[in-house]
Structure 1
Amino acid sequence: MADDEQASSVPQPLTTEQLVTHRRPSDPQISPDGERIAFTLRPVSKEKEHPESAIWVVSFAGGEPRQFTAGQWDDEEPRWSPDGRRLAFLSDRAERGKKSVYIMPADGGEARRVFDQQGDMEQLSWSPDGRFLAVLFTDPETEEEKKRKEERDDARVWDTDYKYQRLWVIDVEAGTAKAVSPEGRQVWTYAWSPDGERLALNLTPTPRIDDIFLENEVVIVPRAGGDPTPVFRQIGMAEHLTWSQDGKYLAYRARAGRVVHGDYVYRIPVEGGEPVCLTPGYDGTSEALWPLGRDALLMVADEGVNMTLYRLSWEGERERLLAGEPLGTFAPVATADASGQRIAVVWEDARHAPDVWVLSRDDISPALQRRTHFNPELEAAALGELEIVRWESDPGVEVEGLLFKPVGYQEGQRYPLVVQIHGGPTWLWTNQFAATWHEWAHALAGRGYAVLMPNPRGSTGRGPEYSNALFGDVGGCEYRDIMAGVDYLIERGIADPERLGVGGWSWGGYMTAWIVSQTTRFKAAVMGAGLPNMISDNGLGDIPSANLSYFETSPYHDPEPYFERSAIRYIRNATTPTLILHGEEDRRVAMAQGQEMYVALRTLGVETQFVTYPREGHSIQERKHQVDLIDRVIGWFDRHLRPEQTG
């Protein structure tokens, strides 16, 4: 074999081009008879003004998947009719950027539009009898509003003239539609009753996303519209509302402690009464809830850094559906056929990119079986080996994380270490194919870095006590947990203590800013969409009430706890060269937070660079922006941790 041929056969690290151009499936929907799975296939980046995606279908038994829609528009949310003969979906094919509802025969053909409205839509679903479709539709601009905008007579008065997301019901055959949710109320999620005559809705007084951290109300409305019947109120959303088949109960996910996050599953009578927890004492985290046949629930759950599936009865009995220990990561959407025996998911782990997998409960030892393979070139690349690591932080506190070893790792050799911290903070890193603009592990491991992705206290997957540990100690226990993980890898002889880097996005950006204000041990940092000032961020972001999960009260009542845990208070101690990245249209963490950190470091003479991305929000979508971000992250760490690579 020639030298160049031999070299080409050796796996190479993932390129930036591969990271930003591959496609990933999502939203797997199994047909009622369990024979086919429809799903959305979407590029990981956006090249044009509007996103593009296509609906695909694959057989449960295996075979080549086939493209169901052309992919020239943004086609998503495929939904099988109860008889399996039709597939409804959302698409902006009539006007780019504005969705409407379409139906196609399940075997293909022309799409028929069944809703004369178009705009922002989501959560499409059939009624159990197949006669109706429901969808959440945000009130569009009025003609008067359009005219005022054209005439530039468009002064805005904040917190007035809301555009509510309301529930519409479409009569498929008659071609008529009606808004059935109460006027002046925001619908965040809903569920059909088994008889198709009623719908359960989760409502808030305004469409501000901040409302989901305050009091929410669940009501029942008739399919044809009418006065809502209250069921219950609670702090936070009733997520993944699901009816029992007898129509007597609703199941949902809700908080189990102070933190507003759906840790546990509850059941409540539709006619009113007290909720009953179906997962008391569960030491994992419920992440999603779906119907499983006629008599049970399908629960997607985090358990440490891995995920699993459970059959959850309406009495609270849990049965693991997969043989063996949990391994890998499930996307939140998992669907079962009408019998509850066949299940479709999107699954991934550190070696397998996300794809559609299936599970049959009829098997003696149920295991996942792959049904698509969209990115073989990614899996064939030189990837870092994953090790699940655990270490002790404070006495008696065990912390878990993912260690991606550098490609070509040799025991006894020290490597530059990058610690990438997750967002949230009520979130976690799981056993995943970490290769996007947002997850850097495989890209860095292919270039000689060890990468630690820790789940410090405040993370999910370890039960409510662990995820609620930040209350009154924001930045404190997290910092100790992360630094203990760094020391653990130094003690093992893996991390070079003179070549440490840290970075993260969103709350990971907050922790990055906090860390460089608390220690000089790191030689490079990347703060993505981070917040160095907890007080100013509370007034600039769109979810200030989320802070009440972690602080006793607002900064306007008592600013000192917020300032005490703000990097900006201690920024004079910082010496770490810091790259700051931010979307210019970010509403979750305002770009001003990145600017505040940049000006502080620049004023203090600390090496820094501030890069902002036009049109981008809290996540980075456009292809060229993703390319720029990935190259900058790698370049920044190379420059400061591996200067020999940069000349």
Structure 2
Amino acid sequence: MNKESYMSIEEVISLPTIESISISENGEYTAYVKKTTDWKDNEFRYHTWIYESKTKKHYPITTDKSESMTPKWSPQNDYLAFTANVGEKKNCKKQIFLRTSDEFNGIQITNSAEGINNFKWSPDGKGIYYTALEPESEEIKKRKETYEDFKYVDKDYKNNCLYYIELSRVLYKDIQLDDFLKKDDNKEEVVDNSTKLTNPEDFNVIGFDISPDGNRVALVCTPTSEMKYYMDTTVSLLSISSKKINRLNIEGYFYSNIAFSPGGNKIAYSKTPLGREAYRKKVTENQLLEIYDIEKEEVLLRLKELDRSIMVSKWTNCGILAYWQDKSNVVIGLISEAGTINTLYQDDICFFHDVSISSKGDNIAYIKAGKNSYFEAYVNDTKITNESKIYESKKLSCKELITWKTNGGLEIEGILSKPVDFNPEKKYPLLVSTHGGPAWAAFPIHNLDELFPIEQFIEKGFIVLEPNYRGSSGYGNEFLTSNYKNLGIGDYEDVISGVDNLIEKGFVNKDKVGVMGWSYGGYISAFCSTYSNRFKAISVCGGISNWVTNYANTDMPSFIIQYLGNNPWDNPDIYSKASPITYIKSACTPTLIQHGENDNRVPVPNAFELYRGLQDRNVESELVIINGLGHCAEKPGVSRIIMEQNLEWFSKYILD
């Protein structure tokens, strides 16, 4: 087949993605979620599919506007639970449904006022535990009726509670998912028969697991649901019979993943030992896997050997299923109680997106992408989907790993994307794409980036560098913490040294270099815009321009203290040094600024401050505020306009 063109922006956004996966205990059935694009309604659609191992057949349980997500098989393989949105578009809430037979696409079993966050089957399969925000209090309802709607900052919040619903109380109702698409004022409303197990005034539940005997629940909690407390985590045990909660004497910052051992006397979890203090004291910020003995009340294992962040998935009879990033790979493996690591299905370069395993460890399903490929679903190492078949008729950029050293001697790794007919004797225009995070990374996987059109840039004649700058995850603790109190300056050195490395190789035009990024990557781009004159065009998407402005407006001020060491009132110099706006008088590069109107993580004043500063300096700049957008693009039309504007901006200012 003659491959004449690269994928268009619309084709990239339309590419189906496998989002989550669940395998039944007996391995006969696998459920996975496929994300597709509905251009007519400007929506991404999520549908659960079932794969039968014996017949090799695939079939969806929902279609069109009737969506379904997060499938999970019951321990006895007889039911599939999943979530679906119920209600009108602006007020829809995620509820749990059961597929009990081929006759029903899904019977609704919850009717939570605020919607479901996460759920797990009870070990006996007789019920489901789930977390959901507490309903609005009567006091708040009365206040709204009396006055206009208002909010007390840091006081008016709702916490996630743990609930349990017994299937015997709901299965008699044959009310299907499709019924909720019909606008019928007389239709019967599902009665919620759930039992609340935790008090919302005590804490906010962010993660949990149930002991194999069903007698206890391990809870990962924060003081409130406010994001500023996301690092103030604790672990507690809830007794189902007595309803008593016992907080465990373990210190650190815990992640939401936690798992009981098959015997029920131990728990495994991921945590950073010192939480907020980790960066400041230059000890590990990687998530360490720990095993805690509940009866002895002591830590039995603290796995340090990997020097990588480990996330616990499930504790099976064969060991603890976990995944971790190793440079530009994401790896899965089984870890024994003694700390022995058995890596599973590892290629030279791969990226595992989700994984599901049976309790015995004899059946496993996962979503994986290899180098220069895309995400597919696998069952016991056999690929069962082929969503990337569109690649067969298209040209694809060639992605390769490269390394270079900064002037300070720090080794940086990056992903270089080149055209299929790359000519090392030619001088190419170069675009640098900086990832968000900073604790994240770029990977040699196609179409991971939902905001910058890499394939179209390649087709236009660019080559693209994605640096894993200092602070990126997967490169060990020393590298991860090397940006402490060095934001901006250190990032710029990593970026510009990568640019110089490619210029020295002879195939980059030094006068045609641009940089772009989103979130923290947008911050690096903003820093390059004001701090440097090395670039011909820049794009700042959802980026920070002033750390003081961001500290005062963001929903995660503790994140900033983690990296800058203190608040701006007690340490103004470091905030000034790290802020792009400090260097606004030296700005000279045409800069495109794109920002979401409703971005709580990096609030929109950052965009206006940078734009106003550039305008006052008579620097060519354009500000685009995307109405309704938060910190991430959730609609295909938003992804398309961001991509098209970036393609147009760099084509205009670099390719003339």
**TM-score normalised to structure 1 length:** 0.91
Corresponding residue number in structure 2 for 1:441: 454
**Alignment correspondent of 1:52:** 45
Give me the whole-angstrom Cα distance separating, in 1, the residues matched to 2:86 and 2:545: 42
In 1, distance between residues paired with 2:364 and 2:215? 27
Of 40-49 and 532-541, more deviation after overlay is shown by 40-49
In structure 1, the residue matched to 2:134 is 139
| Equivalent position SS for 1:586 | coil
Bigger mean CA offset, 73-82 vs 372-381: 372-381
Cα distance per residue 1:381-430 (max 9 Å; x no partner):
21110111111224542211110013431121111111101111111112
Q: Structure 1: how far apart are the matches of 2:548 and 2:79?
A: 52
1:471 to 2:484 alignment: yes
Distance of 2:534 and 2:404 partners within structure 1: 19
Q: CA deviation at 1:202?
A: 1.1
Quick check: 1:347 aligned with 2:368? yes
- In the other structure, the counterpart of 1:358 is 379
1:323-374, CA deviations, whole angstroms, 9 ceiling, x for partnerless residues? 5x4412111x311123313321111245322221233xxxxxxxx4321112
Structure 1's 482 and 45: CA in aligned 2 closer, same or farther, altered over 3 A? farther
- In structure 1, what is the Cα distance between the partners aligned to 2:503 and 2:463? 11
Question: Contact (CA 8 Å) 1:435, 1:441: kept in 2 or not?
Answer: no
Structure 1 residues 539-587: Cα deviation after superposition (integer angstroms, max 9, x where no partner)? 1111110123212221122221111111111111111111000110000
1:302 aligns with one of 297, 316, 325: 325
Conserved 8 A contact 1:352-1:379: no
Matched, 1:207 2:225: yes
1:103 and 1:111 in contact (8 A); partners too: yes
Instruction: Tell me the distance in 2 between the aligned counterparts of 1:525 and 1:636.
Output: 9
Residue 249 in structure 1 maps to residue 266 in structure 2: yes
Question: Using the alignment, how far apart are the partners of 1:510 and 1:240 within structure 2?
Answer: 30
Which runs of 5 or more structure 1 residues have no equivalent in the other structure? 1-5, 360-367
What does residue 199 of structure 2 align with? 182
Describe how 1:41-80 pairs up with structure 2 within 5 A: 41-43=34-36, 48=41, 52-60=45-53, 63-80=56-73
- Partners of 1:61 and 1:448 lie apart in 2 by 48
Q: Residues of 2 paired with 1:151 and 1:73: CA distance?
A: 38
Q: How much has 1:518 moved relative to structure 2?
A: 2.1
Equivalent of 1:482, from 487, 491, 495? Answer: 495
After TM superposition, give the deviation of residue 375 of structure 1 in Å.
Answer: 3.9
- 8 Å CA contact 1:90–1:124 kept in 2: the answer is no
**Aligned position for 1:98:** 93
Match of 1:159 in 2: 154
How far, CA to CA, are the matches of 1:275 and 1:94 in structure 2? 46
Q: Is 2:345 the counterpart of 1:322?
A: yes
Q: 2:309 aligns with which of 278, 285, 293?
A: 285
Decide whether aligned partners of structure 1 residues 343 and 57 sit closer, same or farther in structure 2, where only a CA change above 3 A counts: same
Deviation of the 1:378 alpha carbon? 4.2
Q: CA deviation at 1:642?
A: 0.8
Deviation at 1:46, TM superposition (A): 7.8
Residue 495 of structure 1: how far off its partner (Å): 1.8
Deviation at 1:192, TM superposition (A): 1.1
Residue 166 of structure 2: which of 165, 168, 171 is its match? 171
Is contact 1:249–1:267 with CA below 8 Å preserved after alignment?
Answer: yes
SS at match of 1:202: strand
Please give the alpha-carbon distance, in whole angstroms, between the structure 2 residues aligned to 1:379 and 1:272: 57
Separation (CA, whole Å) in 2 of partners of 1:110 and 1:541: 41
- In 2, the alpha carbon distance for the partners of 1:519 and 1:112 equals 59
Specify the code of the residue in structure 2 equivalent to 1:170.
I
* Aligned-partner residue type, residue 154 of structure 1: D
Which whole-Å CA distance do the structure 2 matches of 1:435 and 1:238 have between them?
Answer: 24
| Structure 1 residues 310-329: Cα deviation after superposition (integer angstroms, max 9, x where no partner) | 11112211111225x44121
SS at match of 1:275: strand
1:335 aligns with 2:348: no
**Distance 1:149-1:448 versus aligned 2 partners, 3 A rule:** farther
1:511-530 mapped onto 2 (5 Å cutoff): 511-530=524-543
Which letter does structure 2 place at the counterpart of 1:607? E
Output the aligned Cα RMSD: 2.3
Q: CA deviation at 1:157?
A: 1.6
Letter in 1 for 2:357: A
Summarize the Cα distance change of 1:192–1:506 in structure 2 as closer, same or farther, 3 Å threshold: same
Cα distance in 1 for residues equivalent to 2:33 and 2:87 = 19
For the residues of structure 2 that align with 1:104 and 1:41, how far apart are their CA atoms?
17
Contact 1:584 1:614 in 2 (8 A): yes
Task: Quote how far apart the aligned CAs of 1:379 are.
Answer: 5.2
Q: How far off is 1:39 after superposition? A: 1.3
CA distance 1:401–1:47, change in 2 (3 Å): farther
Shift of 1:20: 2.3
Contact 2:541 2:593 in 1 (8 A): yes
Q: For residue 564 of structure 2, give the secondary structure of its aligned residue in structure 1.
A: coil
Name the SS of the counterpart of 2:460 in structure 1: coil
Structure 2: segments with no counterpart, 5+ residues: 171-192
CA spacing shift, 1:513–1:580, aligned 2, 3 Å: same
> Could you tell me how far apart the structure 2 residues matched to 1:61 and 1:482 are?
51
Change over 3 Å in CA distance of 1:147–1:49 after alignment to 2? farther
Contact kept? 1:77, 1:90, Cα under 8 Å: yes
CA contact (8 A) 1:181 1:225 kept: no
TM-score by length of 2: 0.90
1:640 and 1:272 map into 2 onto residues whose CA distance is 65
The 1-side partners of 2:650 and 2:38 are apart by 23
Whole-angstrom CA distance in 1 between matches of 2:107 and 2:476: 46
In structure 2, the CA distance between the partners of 1:270 and 1:106, relative to structure 1 (3 Å rule), is: farther
Following TM superposition, by how much is the alpha carbon of 1:479 offset from its aligned partner in structure 2, in angstroms?
A: 1.9
Partner of 1:192: 210
C-alpha separation in 1, matches of 2:75 and 2:482: 44
Residue identity opposite 2:359 in structure 1: A
* In 2, Cα distance between equivalents of 1:267 and 1:309: 18
**Deviates further, 146-155 or 563-572:** 146-155
Separation in 1, partners of 2:74, 2:136: 31
Worse overlay, 371-380 or 16-25: 371-380
State the secondary structure of the residue aligned to 1:300: strand
Residues 456-500 of structure 1: per-residue CA shift (max 9 Å, x gap): 110011111111111122223322222111111111123211110
CA contact (8 A) 2:18 2:34 kept: yes
Contact 2:134 / 2:200 at 8 angstroms: preserved in 1?
A: no
Q: The residue matched to 1:188 in structure 2 has which SS?
A: strand
Q: Which residue of 2 aligns with 1:363?
A: none
Q: 1:564 aligns with which of 561, 573, 577?
A: 577
Q: Work out the CA distance in 2 between the residues paired with 1:262 and 1:506.
A: 21
Alignment partner of 1:341: what SS? coil
For residues 133-154 of structure 1, what are the alpha-carbon distances to aligned partners after superposition, in whole Å with 9 as ceiling and x for unaligned? 0111112335665576577621
The one-letter amino acid of 2:641's match is: D
* SS of equivalent to 1:515: helix
For residues 62 and 536 of structure 1, do their structure 2 counterparts lie closer, same or farther at Cα, with a shift above 3 Å needed?
Answer: farther
- Answer yes or no: is 1:495 the counterpart of 2:508: yes
Tell me, in whole angstroms, the C-alpha distance in 2 between the residues paired with 1:609 and 1:501: 16
SS for the counterpart of 1:503 is: strand
- Mapped pair 1:23 → 2:16: yes
- How far, CA to CA, are the matches of 1:457 and 1:276 in structure 2? 33
> Identity of counterpart residues, as a percentage?
26
1:10 corresponding residue in structure 2: 3
Cα distance in 2, alignment partners of residues 345 and 147 from structure 1: 48
Shift of 1:293: 2.7
Corresponding residue to 2:299 among 275, 284, 301? 275
